[in-house]
Chains A and B, each alone.
Chain A
């Protein structure tokens, strides 16, 4: 299953961000609403292939706006933004998104929900069907393929949403606090599974969170954002090796990084 995903490129456990091509490039990205509300101002960044990047900051820092701009759901007010060297102006197949709410269709079974992107893109083949089932197994939902969303817990619904995201075959994943509505234990477990899956398929991931510890634990780089107006204050590199254990969050180096990010956010917290 995983073998089918690898794009022929070996994934390394120690990620050297400087030698690989940039997948997401933003230059002076600005978004203004109704001509006056500056949600995001002059953000410039370059995200390499297979990198896991967190966007962290308090409310109003523009992290969700930035995500939606990359997704093509919002038009830019100023600046340039490209994915795979193609400018972003509408939702595309190589970019997939996951929201805080699973937003599954209640009248469809889990596997039918996973097949939704394939239906939208055009006919569903036997291969697509097999892949949907395999993806549900991958996210740990064996025996629930034909359950309906209202029969599933919040965590299970988000797993289906994740499988649906993977079904699109997108290699750029945009996640807007996907496990934010779940309890801490489920969130922790799903975060670890997410890291494993994303690492195996080599996807480039943008992960929005308001939790500093979570942002650092999951990512290779942390884009620290401050509000009023929304700005990209700094990009902090996370030096820890993968795979990462939860115990890492107790270490001194880890907490030093947390303190560093807090300082950047400084008066805005």
Chain B
């Protein structure tokens, strides 16, 4: 069954509750650090973190460049990895020979921990942007590939029988049934890729880089500038959440038939398009 949204009133109260608790926790932390009950090196004062936020974003403005570097790695790597993974999986799904010969290599590569491959890729591609891109692409390749291939190979027998009884050709079955039916599975793979992309980019930066959010965090931690380190960390949290939320919205739109609100919109749109013919 499709997803239902909770009632408006309930949501507002719930939100207010969360807000109050959050403010309470921050306030408590502020007190604890001010009176040195919690060591400022382990967890800095919230007010100090806030100050760092303002500084790195607006006064010094140095975070923007590093954020840009990391994000371009994430988005480019995600795009290439997902597209490559999905396309190769569709091809392997359609062509049995390709699937047979591709499988062992994919399995071996998937089994190897990406972090271990990192330094090797740096050795091949050098310290520049290309190396990071390759690592992120690699990380983002497997979830879409595995999911899409599984989707291609496990098709609903009832649907196949129904299409055959209507005299559909193999091509028609592929385009009208298999590919649309696979969208939810592919999206799941793509979401996993996005989740892995940010982590992958940071790992690449930790291994060796001179710019990017991972580098920035390292620098702040080494110099014991904890407020700024935390400010960078929270930046990454916000970025991670924004990416996650974006994927959620895209999925709701693409897999509209599992979402009540989207279905109603789609119904209305199609009714209008029909009347316009």
Residues of chain A having any CB pair with chain B under 8 Å? 71, 73, 90-93, 96-97, 99, 101, 103, 105-107, 109, 111-112, 116-117, 119-121, 126, 129, 145-151, 168
Taken residue by residue from 250 to 277, chain B's Cβ proximity to chain A (1 for < 8 Å, 0 otherwise) reads as: 0000001110000100111011001001
Q: Are B277 and A93 in contact (CB under 8 A)?
A: no
Q: Which of A99, A112, A120 contacts B167 (CB 8 A)?
A: A120
Q: Is residue B219 within 8 Å, beta carbon to beta carbon, of the partner chain?
A: no
Q: Given A99-B158, A126-B277, is A120 in contact with B172 using a C-beta cutoff of 8 Å? A: yes
28 A-B pairs within 8 Å (CB atoms) are namely A73-B161, A73-B164, A73-B165, A90-B167, A96-B165, A99-B161, A99-B162, A103-B158, A105-B177, A107-B180, A107-B256, A111-B274, A112-B270, A119-B176, A120-B166, A120-B167, A120-B176, A121-B167, A146-B267, A146-B268, A146-B270, A146-B271, A146-B274, A148-B263, A148-B266, A150-B1, A150-B257, A150-B263
Distance in angstroms from B183 CB to nearest chain A CB is 8
> Which residues of A have CB within 8 Å of B274?
111, 129, 145-146
User: Which of B166, B256, B274 is packed against the most chain A CB atoms within 10 Å?
Assistant: B166
Q: Are B257 and A106 in contact (CB under 8 A)?
A: yes
Q: Is residue B103 within 8 Å, beta carbon to beta carbon, of the partner chain?
A: no
Q: Is residue B41 within 8 Å, beta carbon to beta carbon, of the partner chain?
A: no
Known: A91-B164, A107-B257. 12 other contacts (CB 8 A): A91-B166, A103-B159, A105-B176, A105-B180, A107-B183, A109-B270, A117-B166, A119-B176, A120-B172, A146-B270, A146-B271, A147-B267
Q: Is residue B153 within 8 Å, beta carbon to beta carbon, of the partner chain?
A: no
Q: Is residue B106 within 8 Å, beta carbon to beta carbon, of the partner chain?
A: no
Interface residues of B in 119-178 (CB under 8 A from A): 156, 158-159, 161-168, 172, 176-177
> Which residues of A have CB within 8 Å of B158?
99, 101, 103
The residue on B at minimum CB distance from A149 is B257
CA distance A117 to B258 in the complex (A): 24
Taken residue by residue from 95 to 124, chain B's Cβ proximity to chain A (1 for < 8 Å, 0 otherwise) reads as: 000000000000000000000000000000
CA distance A121 to B181 in the complex (A): 21
CA distance A111 to B158 in the complex (A): 20
Interface of B is mostly: helix
Residues of chain B having any CB pair with chain A under 8 Å? 1-2, 156, 158-159, 161-168, 172, 176-177, 180-181, 183, 256-258, 263, 266-268, 270-271, 274, 277
> Which residues of A have CB within 8 Å of B176?
105, 116, 119-120
Distance in angstroms from B121 CB to nearest chain A CB is 40
Q: Which of B1, B2, B165, B277 contacts A91 (CB 8 A)?
A: B165
The residue on A at minimum CB distance from B254 is A107
Q: Are B2 and A150 in contact (CB under 8 A)?
A: yes
> Which residues of A have CB within 8 Å of B181?
105
CA distance A177 to B276 in the complex (A): 39
Distance in angstroms from A243 CB to nearest chain B CB is 29
Q: Are A148 and B257 in contact (CB under 8 A)?
A: yes
> Which residues of B have CB within 8 Å of A91?
164-167
> Which residues of B have CB within 8 Å of A116?
166, 176
The residue on B at minimum CB distance from A97 is B165
User: Which of B2, B165, B268 is packed against the most chain A CB atoms within 10 Å?
Assistant: B165
CA distance A212 to B2 in the complex (A): 38
CA distance A126 to B276 in the complex (A): 12
The residue on A at minimum CB distance from B272 is A146
> Which residues of B have CB within 8 Å of A105?
159, 176-177, 180-181
> Which residues of B have CB within 8 Å of A151?
2, 263
> Which residues of B have CB within 8 Å of A92?
167
The residue on B at minimum CB distance from A95 is B165
The residue on B at minimum CB distance from A93 is B167
> Which residues of B have CB within 8 Å of A129?
274, 277
User: Which of A105, A107, A116, A145 is packed against the most chain B CB atoms within 10 Å?
Assistant: A107
> Which residues of A have CB within 8 Å of B2?
150-151
Distance in angstroms from B235 CB to nearest chain A CB is 38
> Which residues of B have CB within 8 Å of A126?
277
CA distance A121 to B167 in the complex (A): 8
Distance in angstroms from B45 CB to nearest chain A CB is 51
> Which residues of A have CB within 8 Å of B1?
150
Distance in angstroms from B53 CB to nearest chain A CB is 44
